[in-house]
Chains A and B, each alone.
Chain A
Amino acid sequence: MPGLKADSKTTQVSLPSAARLLPETWSVEVDDHVLDLRWSSDGAFLAALPSLGSIGIFDREARRTATLAGHPGGNGSLSWDPKRNRLATFGQDAVVRVYEAPFAAPAREIPLEKGWAERVAWSPDGKRLAACVGRQLLILEGETGALRQTFGDHKSTVCDVAWNPSNPNEIASVCDGGARTWRLGQSKPIGHFDWGGASLLVTWSGDGRWVVTGDQTPSVHLYDTRRKHPLHIQGYQTKVKALAWEGSGQWLASGGGPAITVWPCSGKKGPEGAKPIQLFGHLKDAVALDFAKDQGVLASGGRDGLVLIWMPHRSDDPALVAQRSEEITVVRWEPQGDALAFATADGRITLCTMKARSR
């Protein structure tokens, strides 16, 4: 990529003709391979989840605000309460820990039945926590940790869950066989999207219309919950390990090889019959994707160690780039799009301060 040059500390992203270097503000290290980075809803804190070891909480100035003990056996997942600065962590000890600011010690520890602990997620209203353990999806009361409901109709370990952003009483889960959607208070799934193969991740569009799975086979399944209509997108090079929504569900970015494919989902038929935008820039699989909120700016991270910033509605070329020797594991925009954090397999976290604006 010719013409790379360092930029100022804060950059306004605006249609560059050639990719420039991402403006890196600070960099810190955690104990191990970074599984996830999550911003608190106000953007004040960034939580970093390593594979093993302590979980770090940083502020925007790179100060380590808190160091939370890692979960014995390995960390699994973390989630911020969308309504306040409250963090849940989960790991292979099958204990959900809930921390309140200033995060000195867990406000609550919720031991669950032993099993593979894959995911914890706050509901959009912050009232409940979902935790997947083995073949069960458990719904816990956010304030007390009490078990509210168990969804157990899964033929294998639950790999991922996603709350419906537009309805805090609905949640989707995936396992071998496909996806299910559930409504609190009802014991049976309200949606049963069995396609026969294994789905690994799930996301629910902001408008509540689409439940989308990334699959073990190189494919994506979309379920239009309004039309109760399934779509199957094939042609990816690898299993699909990353999905990201723009806005409330207009565009869906998907990994599954070095190319990133962005599908239009707002029309009556969604991506059915539509031509996607394809973004070529990574040399190896794109494994991390995140859209800045409502700005049409996409960040991607790849196994090639590249972080690329795209404005897919304006250009097929990346606008900004950062490069590392280790693979990128996660990219995460600050909720208002004012900063981007990314992390690598060797435990390094970098913050880039800039404003994601392409509209």
Chain B
Amino acid sequence: MNRTPVTVLTGFLGAGKTTLMNRVLTEQHGQRLAVIENEFGEIGIDHELVINADEEIFEMNNGCICCTVRGDLIRILGSLMKRRDQFDHILIETTGLADPGPVVQTFFVDDDMKEKLLVNAVVTVVDAKHIWEHIDDADEAKEQIAFADVILLNKCDLVAPGDLDKLEARIKAMNGVAKIYRTVNAAIEIPKILEVGGFNLDHAIGVDPKFLEPEYPFEWGGIFELPQGAAEFVASQNPDPSMKLIFIPVDAGTDEALAAAREQAVRGFSSLQIQEAAPGAPIAIDGTLHELVLQEGEMAWPLEIPAAGCYALFTEHYPDELELKLRADGREFVAAPAAAYKPDHEHDEEVTSVGIEEERECDTAKLNVWLSTLLRDKGTDIFRMKGVFSVKGNPNRVIFQGVHMLLDAQDGGPWGTRPRRNSLVFIGRNLDREELNASFASCLV
């Protein structure tokens, strides 16, 4: 039986959910939609169905948050599924303060929903300008980001590019598997919302190849093409007392050169030899690790460029955070190429993603023990999980997905030409990467 896809739309009030909803409803995409919304909108449509729902949380098992479901959705979706003329897709708009957990859990817990419906994606619209007001304090904002398969950084026209980079990196540190799009007025191609296949891990990894890579000790890197002679760093902000950076000569201003320098920078950042540099102290561009001492007001550090050419710079924080500029010959230089890196220093981030990749096969019995123990002990903190297991003796992939303590595993078909390997992703609160890795290793044969 083909299950009807369901897309869950979340986001704080004013982020642009209704704008996105209007786009989905008015643009030609060839799908017959049913929309369930929690807030009265002004959407006028004639060929789709819009139903208003009051949020009703059903507690399933002594109030355990992992087992709460949305009673209103069960009732309304149950009614929709009892129509001969079925819909192609169901879109659920949540209130700005809704916890997406019970919505998603509904499709795992309720027998009827499980049989007839399939979550396509949780789409979270983020107000790129105002999210900073909520992201540290509001659990709802964190959970909406953590549950997302797709995140729209909306209102990007109101935010400086550097701040967007910073926001994107922050969000990726929380949810490494979500596909992030930058939008203005929630303008996005509709298939990117309605044809996600949210529980397809290959897709998730495919759209964010950095997710399972190691973390880096820096947030930003870029290559400057500089003339020979004197230059200077100028900064005017001091968000932290200090910031590490490293300059490395490279052969060319290319992505390949930046990638090669990145590895050298990782080693450089692990050096115990750190050159402290108060404003006015010279910065060497020979691979020395410096720690800039940041003070109030304008600060400057002189550099001496020995020869015209390309130089890669890696900084612990985004240059925009310090309003850091590089000047020479009276000009300001811009890095090209440049890249943001997943930082390893945001250990104070409450909500994070942990990815595990392992080529060795799992033992079924050990895997069951590990998963049941993990979900029993940590299920409250795990918002979402998904992955593919390579199980000894099983010629097919085993695909799993879960929400809190709820887990659903399915036969994923033959591996085909894909290499056999376990790929797991956990998104949650207070996740211990080392502990997860170590405990998963106990399942391997």
Contacts and interface: CB of A to CB of B under 8 A. Distances in A.
Nearest to A32: B84
A196 B83 contact: no
Closest 8 interchain pairs by CB? A198-B58, A238-B111, A33-B82, A156-B56, A51-B82, A32-B84, A51-B83, A176-B58
Contacts, number: 67
> Which bucket holds chain B's interface residue count?
20 to 34
Contacts of B54: 134, 157
B117 to A, nearest CB: 15
A134 B74 CA distance: 15
Contacts of B72: 116, 156-157
B83 A33 contact: yes
B60 interface: yes
Given A51-B82, A216-B69, A196 B110 contact: no
> Which bucket holds chain A's interface residue count?
20 to 34
Nearest to A135: B54
Interface of A: 31-33, 35, 51-52, 74, 116, 118, 134, 156-157, 159, 176, 196-198, 216-217, 238-239, 285, 329, 345-347
Contacts of A32: 82-85
B110 to A, nearest CB: 7
A216 B58 contact: yes
A239 B75 CA distance: 13
A217 B83 contact: no
Nearest to B79: A74
Given A156-B56, A159-B75, A216-B71, A52 B111 contact: no
B84 A347 contact: yes
A176 B83 contact: no
B75 A51 contact: no
Contact of B56 (A74, A176, A217, A329): A176
Contacts of B57: 176
B284 to A, nearest CB: 67
A347 B84 CA distance: 8
Contacts of B74: 216
Nearest to B111: A238
B209 interface: no
Contact of B60 (A33, A52, A217): A217
Contacts of B56: 156-157, 176
A157 B111 contact: no
9 contacts: A35-B82, A51-B83, A74-B79, A116-B72, A156-B56, A197-B58, A198-B71, A217-B61, A239-B111
Contacts of B410: none
B63 interface: yes
A19 B82 CA distance: 30
A347 B82 CA distance: 10
Interface in B41-62: 54, 56-62
B84 A346 contact: yes
A226 B71 CA distance: 31
Contact of A216 (B60, B62, B82, B85): B60
B71 A157 contact: yes
A239 B113 CA distance: 12
Given A32-B84, A157-B71, A176-B71, A197 B59 contact: yes
Contacts of A176: 56-59, 71
B62 A285 contact: no
Contact of A51 (B69, B84, B112): B84
A74 B71 CA distance: 19
A197 B79 contact: no
Contact of B110 (A33, A216, A285): A216
Nearest to A285: B111
Given A157-B75, A216-B69, A239-B112, 11 more contacts: A31-B84, A52-B84, A176-B71, A196-B59, A197-B60, A198-B71, A216-B58, A217-B60, A238-B111, A239-B111, A345-B84
Interface string B383-417: 00000000000000000000000000000000000
Contacts of A198: 58-60, 71
